[in-house]
Amino acid sequence: MIAPPSIWSGVFDTWDEATDAAISRSVDTLQAFDTNRWIERQEEMLTSARLGVATRFTNLPMLVSISGARSIVDLGGGSGWTFELVAFNTVRDIENYVIIEQQSSVDAFTPSFIDNDRVRFVASNAKFDVQLESVDVLYSNSALQYFPDNLFLTNLVALCTPDWILLDDLQASSGSQFFSMQHYYGKEIPCRFCDVQSTINELQTLGYSLSADVGYPATIGGSLEPSLSGRLATQNNIGTPRSLLFKVV
């Protein structure tokens, strides 16, 4: 069987190196998450979710059912499709669902929830000085790989002091952290493959214990192409995408 072409390209030691390479190889400099194609994809996911159809896997409905969570912060929640799946698939009434997204997504999808006062979109920025109340769950699905480090995550934990932290589709390295690029319709997106143990240690420092570490059913993937810097990609093995669940101690 012929392996599908990889969506990853290059191995870099730093986020800046991966970012510079991504800009130089992209069709233009517009960020992939600001493109019409990205917004249209998120609209399709929202429409499907409102019919109870999940186009991406999420562990959040199960966690909500088990924990009785009623307030959630969703880091990188896109169009709000995960909220709709929770609402469709659980008997819990979510009272407060905050989606942290970049401004283009906030502008595009806030109107989709104009009649739902339980859902709020908040634009992210470098300082992220927005006020958040304490919540039951901090959730992220396939978002942390687009940050250069875990600082945004740990700052968000300090702001909303969740009882649970659920990280779905965490792109992980089997060794130390490294960076690459992800192909996306003529764009190259800088991407981080994080050191899982370091992430666990950081959250433990904030008072959280690891409750579960399971494989995530990947929707994208493939092995890395040879590094642009000349090193073999096999030196940086990609592990199975992971779902990590943490509980406050």
Tens-digit pLDDT profile for residues 69-87: 999 999 999 999 999 999 9
Mean pLDDT of the chain: 85
Per DSSP, the residues of 11-79 read EESSHHHHHHHHHHHSSSSS-GGGSHHHHHHHHHHHHHHTTT--SS--SHHHHHHHH---EEEEET-TT
Between vectors from CA 242 to CA 238 and to CA 245, what angle results, nearest 5°? 150
Give the per-residue pLDDT at 150.
Answer: 95
In angstroms, rounded to a whole number, what is the distance separating the alpha carbons of residues 146 and 191? 5
Residue with the larger pLDDT of the pair 222 and 165: 165
Cβ atoms 169, 213 nearer than 8 A: no
C-beta separation of 203 from 157 below 8 A: yes
The pTM of the full predicted model, rounded to 2 decimals, is 0.90
- Cα 70 from Cα 95, distance rounded (Å): 5
pLDDT exceeds 80 at position 27? no
> d(Cα 245, Cα 164) in Å, to the nearest integer?
7
61 token code pair: 């409905």
Q: How confident is the model at residue 175 (pLDDT cuts 50, 70, 90)?
A: confident
- Residue 241 has a pLDDT of 86
Q: Is the pLDDT of residue 234 over 50?
A: no
CATH superfamily of 8-232+241-248: Vaccinia Virus protein VP39 (3.40.50.150)
pLDDT at 232 over 80: no
Cα dihedral 102, 79, 110, 35, rounded to 10, equals 50
Tell me what percent of the chain is helix, strand and coil, each rounded to the nearest 5.
35, 25, 40
33 band by pLDDT with thresholds 50, 70 and 90: confident
- Is the CB of residue 14 less than 8 Å from the CB of residue 228? no
Residue 248 has φ and ψ, to the nearest 5°, of -65, 140
Residues 124-160: tens digit of each pLDDT = 874 555 667 899 999 999 999 999 999 999 999 999 9
The three-state secondary structure class of 219 is coil
Give per-residue burial for 122-152: e unless 16+ CB within 10 Å, then b: bebeeeeeeebeebbbbbbbbbbbbbeebeb
Residue 207, Cβ neighbours under 10 Å: how many?
A: 12
| The pLDDT of residue 23 | 87
